[in-house]
Amino acid sequence: MKFRDGMWLTAEGVQVEYAEEVYDIAETEKGLSLLCPTRKIFSRGDTLNRSTLTVDVEAACDGVISVETTHWAGAVNKGPHFDLFPDGRPSIEHKVSKGDKGTTLSAGSLSATVAGDDHTFDIRFHSTDGSKHLTSLLGRSVGLAYTPAPSNPLQTGDMRDFKHYIFTQTTLGVGESVHGLGERFGAYNKVGQSVALWNADGGTSSDQAYKNVSFWLSSRGYGIFIDTPEKVDLEIGSERCSRVQTSVEGQRLKWYIIYGPTPKEVLGRYSVLTGRPSKVPSWSYGLWLSTSFTTNYDEATVKSFLEGMKERDTPVDVFHYDCFWMKAFTWTDFVFDSERFPDPKAQIARLKSSGLVKKVCVWINPYIAQHGAAFKHAAEKGYLLKRKNGEVWQWDLWQAGMGLVDFTNPEAVKWYVSCLNGLFDQGVDAIKTDFGERIPTLDVEWHDKSVDPHKMHNYYAFIWNKTVYEALQARYGTTEAVLFARSATAGTQRFPLVWGGDCESTPEAMAESVRGGLGLGLCGYAFWSNDIGGFEGSPAPWIYKRWVAFGLLCSHSRLHGSNSYRVPWTIDSDSTEEEGCSRTLARWTALKTRLMPYLFAQAGRAVREGLPLSLRAMCLEFPDDPTAWFLDRQFMVGESLLAAPVFDESGEVEFYLPRGTWTSFFTNQTRDGPGWFREKHGFGSLPLYVRENTVLVLGKPGVKGAVYDYAADVEVCLYQVREGASAELVDGEGEVLGTLRVGTDGGLEGQELLKGAWTKNDGGRHVEESYMKTIEWL
């Protein structure tokens, strides 16, 4: 939201008051409390008829400082509030010191200095050792605003006709870029954008987002987490070019500044604050196949799909039943359509026993349709959100007469979990939690009267996914739970995993999805997926095959569409050519399967450190390379593999390699970075490069499915290694078995961990000569 009309004028209908000086500094239990009048105080008379802002600057933990700005402290601070420090708050002994530059609060490696000059407002955030300036709150950077502008101060005695805002403006340095703020599909660098953090079902081709996360990462070595689930408006160099403005409607605004100095360290500290991602089981990394959305299917269709995939040498680890496993007009009532699935428990058991699939997932949402079996019971028991007059809140958008489960009601949570347990009893292993964005804020009253409906809008995604995830954990174990969620907010990374929502079947939409995955990964989400081939429309064969290559290099991979199937033989009339859809899918599925020893080990590190597995933004691995902060068409898979999807029908692709020697995964040819390169690829490859000094462990060629022994019969591939290069070996549960390491003599230490007929290749992996014919360096 913009409060000004350019540099000199206030926006029409708005009154703005700024903190003009720090009048008083009081030391508190955790830091400093600053009294900041909205005019400079030169005499006692200046203290009258004037608003003040209180800015509390406190040490949260090492490298993290909170800043809370308050106008009227008597305003009730309703919930819900983010569940911060879920694993416990680290101890911190803050330090307050006074010197020539002012009063400084230090929280380990991060400090904030309040300038000591009279009649100034100046707060600088910097590394405690003084080596790095991060950002500042300077003159006219903290304030309050009214709209409409009151013509007389007496009018503010009745605030019912006014909106009140608090805002802060942190400085942007020259060349500084800003990233994150959830899964956003527009420009990767947010500088110059206006961003509203408000969950919405807008698809991937709009400025709306399913997953709004109130955290952004700066290229200068810090991040900002805004501590409220309510709507937040940001003007990122878009109102004042040299500042990031954060505003909320209300009387207080709190955010945390998080110091790295590296972006990985920023995310590590952010994950301490909001929660680390949880582990997901090895089977979830395999290929997921969906029925698609409005397609016509029954038990015979499902079986034919899985048999067709097996015949085409593509194992499916998870089969997903989308919406129409329930009858039309009944979603979500947790009841299989008896005409199409007369005995779902037996059917699911048959699928698993046949070996066609390991696990089964079903679609649900938090909406309860009036015509479904669940509505009457839920309404009578008070499990659904109500209007202020006591009636059940309903509308006809999406499902006729649908209500919304009120997860602030503990009894509603118990009931919902019992419905989920009914699905688990029938053999369901995973849940796709769709929707959850269109949460009403007007004329509603939650069971928990202490919550603010506007704050519940974004926060609903957290409590709903938490309910389902914990139900899965209770049934299957703490590390076996898997969601496939669309809506999210800060902290929802604790309940993996998520996918990118509704994208079109176009190369532009694939690029949108890449940008969305990169941004969400920079908010601490380790695991991310998308609809291979695009959701809306029917993909052309070339788009499908290029998307297959991209999708199988994401942490999780799912074939899913809207009104058309995504099994490969329906895309290109069942072509049997080597570069047809079926063979392309088989090759990329096999590649991901072979990568599982590497992927699963990297996933463990991602969970421990709060990092994305894939898509991992280039800046996380190469923060000192300025180009890395602007790369939005490529990504890292873990720390050692670089992937660049192909977006052009010709197969031509341009990509960037940072400094070092990089080896093509497909040909073992090397390139030296930094620099931009162009290649042309067939459908069985893309620019996939291995970082120098990498020990890459691959599964045995021909292994089927994502679950196998990751230490047996493996191929250990060495890429320009030096002494100390290493790779962790993990078992099927993700537990570390030990480390393979290059010793002083160039030999491989830790060989006793390996089993079976394993091999070692010193110059990269054993490659197939066929790739030499389909990859052209331009």
For the chain, which domains are there?
A: 1-72+93-157 (2.60.40.1760), 282-366+408-609 (3.20.20.80), 618-777 (2.60.40.1180)
Strand runs labelled E in 22-117: 24-27, 31-37, 52-61, 64-70, 95-99, 102-107, 110-115
Out of 21, 429, 502, 715, the active site residue is 502
Two tokens at 245?
Answer: 């403005």
Is 502 annotated in the active site? yes
Is 406 annotated in the active site? no
Query: CA-to-CA distance for 678 and 379, rounded, in angstroms?
Result: 60
Query: Is the pLDDT score of 770 beyond 90?
Result: no
Query: Is the pLDDT score of 768 beyond 90?
Result: no
Q: Look at the pTM and tell me if it is higher than 0.75.
A: yes
DSSP assignment string, 413-467: HHHHHHHHHHHHHTT--EEEE--------SS-B-SSTTB-HHHHHHHHHHHHHHH
Query: CA-to-CA distance for 585 and 413, rounded, in angstroms?
Result: 40
Burial (0-12, 13-18, 19+ Cβ within 10 Å), 732: middle
For 281, residues 6+ apart whose C-beta sits below 8 A from its C-beta are 479, 480, 482
Query: Which residues sit opposite 10 in a β-bridge?
Result: 4
pLDDT by residue (tens digit) across 259-312? 999 999 999 999 999 999 999 999 999 999 999 999 999 999 999 999 999 999
Nearest Cα neighbor of 335 from 414, 419, 432, 416 is 419
Out of 20, 434, 572, 621, the active site residue is 434
Out of 333, 437, 480, 536, the active site residue is 437
Single-letter residue type at 510: M
Helix (H/G/I), strand (E/B), else coil: 377: helix
Burial (0-12, 13-18, 19+ Cβ within 10 Å), 677: middle
CB atoms within 10 A of CB 681: 23
Strand runs labelled E in 313-358: 318-321
Query: Is the pLDDT score of 385 beyond 90?
Result: yes
Query: CA-to-CA distance for 199 and 492, rounded, in angstroms?
Result: 13
Query: Is the pLDDT score of 213 beyond 90?
Result: yes
The single-letter DSSP state of residue 357 is -
Instruction: Give the residue-averaged pLDDT of 446-452.
Output: 97
Is 425 annotated in the active site? no
Q: Residue 595: which H helix or E strand, with range?
A: helix 581-609
Confidence label for 772 from pLDDT (cuts 50, 70 and 90): confident
Q: pLDDT at position 678, please?
A: 98
Q: pLDDT at position 101, please?
A: 92
Query: Which residues sit opposite 15 in a β-bridge?
Result: 146
Query: CA-to-CA distance for 768 and 171, rounded, in angstroms?
Result: 52
Please name the residue that has the structure tokens 């601070």.
Answer: 77
Q: pLDDT at position 418, please?
A: 98
Query: Is the pLDDT score of 145 beyond 90?
Result: yes
CA dist list (Å): 720 to 563, 619, 642, 695: 48, 22, 16, 9
For 563, residues 6+ apart whose C-beta sits below 8 A from its C-beta are 292, 293, 294, 295
Using an 8 Å Cβ cutoff, are 214 and 492 in contact? no
Instruction: Give the residue-averaged pLDDT of 517-535.
Output: 98
Query: CA-to-CA distance for 252 and 254, rounded, in angstroms?
Result: 7
Instruction: Give the residue-averaged pLDDT of 739-754.
Output: 95
DSSP assignment string, 293-304: SS----HHHHHH
Q: pLDDT at position 371, please?
A: 97
Query: Which residues sit opposite 193 in a β-bridge?
Result: 236
pLDDT by residue (tens digit) across 637-696? 999 999 999 999 999 999 999 999 999 999 999 999 999 999 999 999 999 999 999 999
Instruction: Give the residue-averaged pLDDT of 544-556.
Output: 98
